[in-house]
Amino acid sequence: MAALVMHLTSAGGAGAEDKRAGKHPKDAGVTTQGAVTTEISSLKGEISSLKEEFRIAREKQRLAQEEKKRLEEARYGVPAKPTPASGRAGAPAHQ
C-alpha cells in the first residue's frame, strides 16, 4: 500500500503538487468541467500501470525461484521420488 501511495504521489496522482485534497480545482489551474473525469482516468491509468509492474515483478520472482531450484537440483542431484513400495518420499529401502 505504501508503494502505491509513493508511486501515485511521485507520478502526479493523488498527492501531486496543486492537486492535493482540499484545494479547489480553479486554484490548481484546472477547469471544473471535466476535472473529475480527467483525474479518474488518470488514476485508472496509474492503477493499470501498477498492476502490470506487479505482474512483471511476480513473474520475475517466480522465474528466479525456478532457476534457484533447478540449480540446487543440478548441484545436489534430483531429490528422491517416492517408490510405490514405501509410499513415502525419502523412506529407507530397508526397514
User: So what's the pLDDT on residue 56?
Assistant: 97
What pLDDT digit, counting tens, does each position of 27-42 carry?
Answer: 555 556 688 999 999 9
Give the amino acid at 24: H
Give the amino acid at 53: E
User: So what's the pLDDT on residue 77?
Assistant: 81
Each of the 95 residues of the chain gets a pLDDT tens digit; together they read: 677 677 677 766 554 455 555 555 555 555 566 889 999 999 999 999 999 999 999 999 999 999 999 999 988 887 655 556 655 555 555 54
Distance CA 88, CA 7 (A): 49
> Quick one: residue 12, left, alpha or beta (phi over 0 = left, psi -120 to 50 = alpha)?
left
User: So what's the pLDDT on residue 95?
Assistant: 47
